[in-house]
Structure 1
Amino acid sequence: MKKVLSILLAGCCVCSLISCGQSAQKDTTKAGTEEAVQSVQVENSVVETIMTRRSIRQYKPQAVEREKMQTIVECGINAPNAMNRQAWEVRVVDNADYINGVTELYKKANPKVAEDPTFKNMFRNAPTVVFIARDTQSESSPFDCGLLAENMMISAWSMGIGSCCLGTPARFMRSPEAAEYLQKLGFSEGYELLYCIGFGYPDETPAAKPRDAAKVKFVE
């Protein structure tokens, strides 16, 4: 009889705890919600990686190991894309002669950049550069390429590898001055270089820049 009574009491306690938990959940305040979100950020490695990633513009000199870049690129091409057309092409360059050669042309066209004592190359000093081209016949290709790039940058950060998405170098690569170097990338006909991403091991720890959370609203 005592055992049965103990079981009944334990069951009542469990029900009481569940009831209290449900009540507390309903009464969650804004501050409590924020604490919960912060807790998820700490406990969830994916969320933590996204929230801690920073754009890096100063790198250590060594290129990223090709095995790691292979993983990063595979994460990229597994991004969502319209109707699985995969309307992108990707080229990875860690050849210092290529990077320095096109940088010299960039410096001739933009001599002021060399006045910056921290300037090493036109790809924000990155030792490894990924070039992403889009299929010009696909309206969704710019969005698809953006998703691809985000996957690569997030996966890289999870491995301690920094990155910076670059538009200006891509524009220069499409100019007549850099035609030879663009040709070396060997993109297929009908594909256009959209942008570049510099990758490397960070040699700086930039602080987070503020985000305007007020731009996000839930619609009832």
Structure 2
Amino acid sequence: MADQRVAVVTGASRGIGRAIATALAAAGHAVVIGYAGNDVAAKDVVDEITAAGGRAVAARADVADESDVATMFDTAVEAYGDVDVVVNSAGRLMLSPIAELDLDALDELHRTNIRGSFVVAREAARRLRSGGAIVMLSTSVLGLQFPGYGAYAASKGAVEAMTLILARELRGRDITVNAVAPGPTATELFLAGKDEETIELLAKQPPLERLGTPADIADVVAFLTGPGGRWVNGQVLRANGGII
């Protein structure tokens, strides 16, 4: 299948990243499941895709490590011949009032969310063939500005800042670069530690009166990386049900 598009998805072993990987596979992509450490979860995603008739391989990589990321892209090329789509869904969340911020935890957060985004974007910019697409993951918290999210929002602000710049730097390559900024989404990571009252309050904030699902975000990414999204470039799409 020499003409099959090939996607590398980081953070693909769970949550939104997993939904993105399976959606791209369903859209006809061969998918590389990038993951940080959970071998069992990554294999489960590969098995789900292959059971549905798709093509997938797993590649363990720390997104902030340039050697790991290069090897992940090498895996894609060795397995499928090239790379067309890169989605950087890997991320770390830390909640803390700024006055109480643990600076070591801040460094870990920024290593994954900022350095990792740049490492993945740099490799994508070097490797993608014409007609490709890069999608970064941001957050609607940048607009909502919830207390406690200062460090996380700042890290995702960096992702949004690089999006249009990278799109312009790739002028003439026929490669789009966009970011998707989910609102509150019902993932295991998001729901952890929240009581029913808090979840219900968050679910009522969008005019659509529900939390997002990983599939909601995956559908937006599938659009941006598919033929219908070719004229969308350098944008941040806030997929949040109208919460802001």
Give the TM-score range, shorter chain. Answer: under 0.3
Q: TM-score, normalised by structure 2?
A: 0.23
Larger Rg: 1
Which has the larger helix fraction? 1
Give the TM-score of the pair, scaled to structure 1. 0.25
